[in-house]
Structure 1
């Protein structure tokens, strides 16, 4: 209900703002909202040739392409005059994101189809884990811990193994594997959900822990920093780990208090201390490496772990091939069956993803996001917050809505302020330590047709805020 109302609010308010701006003359056309593409120039006016300044007329007529560009610099968008069909079209600024129709198209071709491919492969592997008995063994090992955090989940339930694989994939920065494991976990939890259209306590806890995004190897962030020629691309790794870990603990506590979970359980405390010890130990090891060693380690750990998971699944399935025969199937046929289920899941979630992305497209192209972002930055600057922090806030603000949009702001911050500047580094930590909340809710709850998400959205946004505040303090401490 909350998500539905929020979707309606941002959609309708954006449309009203666009129409109002058009009629009062703030915008010349609304076509860019419908058909424009990201980074396309925006048409702001159209005039006859004799209505523009004389020096521009002369420049256009002398130019073979009948165009003239002014205000050319590396920061502000150019103003371009194009003479065609007896009129001069004036363009200024660039579009923030794709319009409605390109968003519909890209959500299918650039997002859902690749996601369906990942879903097909990893759901095929998960089918092997189930039939071979590996998922059951993993669930038995972890049941004592999960019983404390997810008391409504039966002992040794298969969802435990799926959630574990999802957390592990996030931990290693394997986004392509994390989503299929997470969707399978939601479907498995839905089977024991007594109210099928309402999120269960276990589903809410899983979603909020997933949103915190505990990450050990922020592979993509390191890659972007290396592309921008950072002196040490991996120098944000430790701040990212600390920030995402605090966010994960905060999510567990916030949801746990609401669900009356016993945090003083010896099993839970031992498991938490073990995770902390493992992270600290690994960080000490990484910190002892030289720059080349760090780059080699961070570039290969995630990939090696994924290969290990795939290899273990196939070898374990081969060893336990008799269990496949008992179910009148083979290892390959079981993989194909699981892959087919993954494709069906991709088809099911497409409308949810498209609907959310189109609303976000309207929100950004309407200019409302810019106004909110500028207003918040202005308010923070007036209370004494450093400009280095306010310059990176657009990344934090857009992250819950769009991973691609916030990534664009992050890259822009590194290019304008430098990858080794405080702003550049803080933007990277913002990008790494939060989740695309609205996309994740649309995908995960959409996959199981849950309409009432209860307090999930509010909690996930609160966790995002905690991650933002933590990132500022951690960045100030490290840099």
Structure 2
């Protein structure tokens, strides 16, 4: 699947570039294509430098948590649920605890912690893979849920809105929460359909129902708080939880009489080894995405959507925010730039800017996630991962549009 997708990106870019040259008389498109290739290759190295430090740091702390039995404890706690959702993973397997930590970090918007934990989870799942080049059902479910971007505290979105002068930076909090919940639910349902999972199982329903009640209670609590209180809580909670997790790992290790420094160093070495294998996959995917954007293909698609919406007589305000939605599956930095550009052009409290922020907070850089996670374990045949992940992204975008018309329309 990734092979065909990667080739398609280049072929579509080539056709779009020829159209720009022959029909629109723009020979500069080829210069933009080549510049984009080199820019994306340079960006890949910069991302790798960031990942080297982050992975090394968090892999070290995770080794302490594993040695202290914390990861195994989480795995045993969630064993009944994951035996239904991931029947190929034995009860108590360390991957289950790591998956739980990854979801918790994503929910709190702690991207720097979530990625290293997720990569470690993928490596543990890979130990159960009988065909190392093909994704297992468990790996697919994990990645689709990971890429569905369930975020309870989108602190970075608030920060960008505040930087752009929004009167209420947290105004998009509830819309993002509703939209990201929709994308995660659709991701789970799509994978359950493809893998014939029994979501009606009493244990699964009990866990999902409990999660829905907790989420609803959290939303109700935040809805009762003032804007200033929500912003303060969002800023405090992410950093507090992150540091509290680190301290808890260290205390648990010390109580178990584990040599925490030596354990950290051993885990950090694993992080270094993981990073070394990621660069080729990042270069390949980011360069393909770069030429697709530089060719103007995404702009043509956007104008086609705008024309179609006007033709059927619908409100087309949402189209102004679609660049963020169209680019987000390919590039987080590009989507972030487009969101900020939308805020600057229309105003941070305009409908397009609010929708762009909601989309940014409720969708994920799907192809980047697939390239990094599957690249770390050498999986090339991803089966139904891309389809299910993009369906979750689509659900997040459609939910964002509907919710924003409801809240701000």
TM-score tier (shorter): over 0.9
Aligned match of 1:12: 11
Cα distance between partner residues in 1 of 2:209 and 2:16: 51
> Which of 217, 222, 232 is the equivalent residue of 1:281?
217
TM-score using structure 2 length: 0.96
| Structure with the higher strand share, 1 or 2 | 1
Cα distance between partner residues in 1 of 2:88 and 2:302: 41
Contact kept? 1:167, 1:210, Cα under 8 Å: yes
1:159-215, Cα deviation, whole Å (9 max, x unpaired): 001100110011000111111111111111000011111100000111111111110
Larger Rg: 1
Cα distance between partner residues in 1 of 2:314 and 2:142: 34
Root-mean-square deviation over aligned CA pairs: 1.5
> Which of 336, 350, 354 is the equivalent residue of 1:425?
354
1:40-64, Cα deviation, whole Å (9 max, x unpaired): xxxxxxxxxxxxxxxxxxxxxxxxx
Is 1:159 the counterpart of 2:88? The answer is: no
- Is the alpha carbon distance of 1:390 and 1:28 closer, same or farther for their aligned partners in structure 2, counting shifts above 3 Å? closer
Aligned match of 2:390: 461
Aligned match of 1:317: 253
Note the C-alpha offset of 1:387: 2.3
**Residue pairs, 1:18-417, within 5 angstroms:** 18=17, 21-22=20-21, 25-28=25-28, 30-35=30-35, 99-109=36-46, 111-321=47-257, 324=258, 330-417=259-346
Note the C-alpha offset of 1:283: 1.7
How many pairs were matched up?
A: 407
Extract unaligned runs of 5+ from structure 2: none
SS across alignment from 1:196: coil
Using CA pairs below 8 Å that are at least 6 residues apart, which structure has the higher relative contact order? 2
| Structure with the higher helix share, 1 or 2 | 2
Contact kept? 2:17, 2:29, Cα under 8 Å: no
- Is the alpha carbon distance of 1:284 and 1:29 closer, same or farther for their aligned partners in structure 2, counting shifts above 3 Å? closer
Contact kept? 2:125, 2:138, Cα under 8 Å: yes
Note the C-alpha offset of 1:29: 6.7
Contact kept? 1:381, 1:390, Cα under 8 Å: no
- Is the alpha carbon distance of 1:267 and 1:100 closer, same or farther for their aligned partners in structure 2, counting shifts above 3 Å? same
Cα distance between partner residues in 1 of 2:132 and 2:29: 45
Cα distance between partner residues in 2 of 1:403 and 1:142: 31
SS across alignment from 1:391: helix
Cα distance between partner residues in 2 of 1:23 and 1:246: 43
Cα distance between partner residues in 2 of 1:354 and 1:362: 12
Note the C-alpha offset of 1:381: 2.7
Note the C-alpha offset of 1:280: 1.6
Larger deviation, residues 195-204 vs 410-419: 410-419
1:63-114, Cα deviation, whole Å (9 max, x unpaired): xxxxxxxxxxxxxxxxxxxxxxxxxxxxxxxxxxxx21122122102x1110
Aligned match of 2:364: 435
Cα distance between partner residues in 2 of 1:145 and 1:29: 52
Note the C-alpha offset of 1:17: 3.8
Note the C-alpha offset of 1:237: 0.8
Note the C-alpha offset of 1:33: 2.7
Extract unaligned runs of 5+ from structure 1: 36-98, 325-329
Larger deviation, residues 278-287 vs 133-142: 278-287
- Is the alpha carbon distance of 1:475 and 1:16 closer, same or farther for their aligned partners in structure 2, counting shifts above 3 Å? closer
Cα distance between partner residues in 2 of 1:20 and 1:295: 47
Note the C-alpha offset of 1:247: 1.3
- Is the alpha carbon distance of 1:220 and 1:26 closer, same or farther for their aligned partners in structure 2, counting shifts above 3 Å? same
- Is the alpha carbon distance of 1:29 and 1:150 closer, same or farther for their aligned partners in structure 2, counting shifts above 3 Å? closer
SS across alignment from 2:357: helix
1:287-309, Cα deviation, whole Å (9 max, x unpaired): 22222211111111111111111
1:368-426, Cα deviation, whole Å (9 max, x unpaired): 12112221222223223322111111111111111111111111211222222221111
Cα distance between partner residues in 2 of 1:439 and 1:378: 30
SS across alignment from 2:150: coil
Contact kept? 2:122, 2:373, Cα under 8 Å: yes
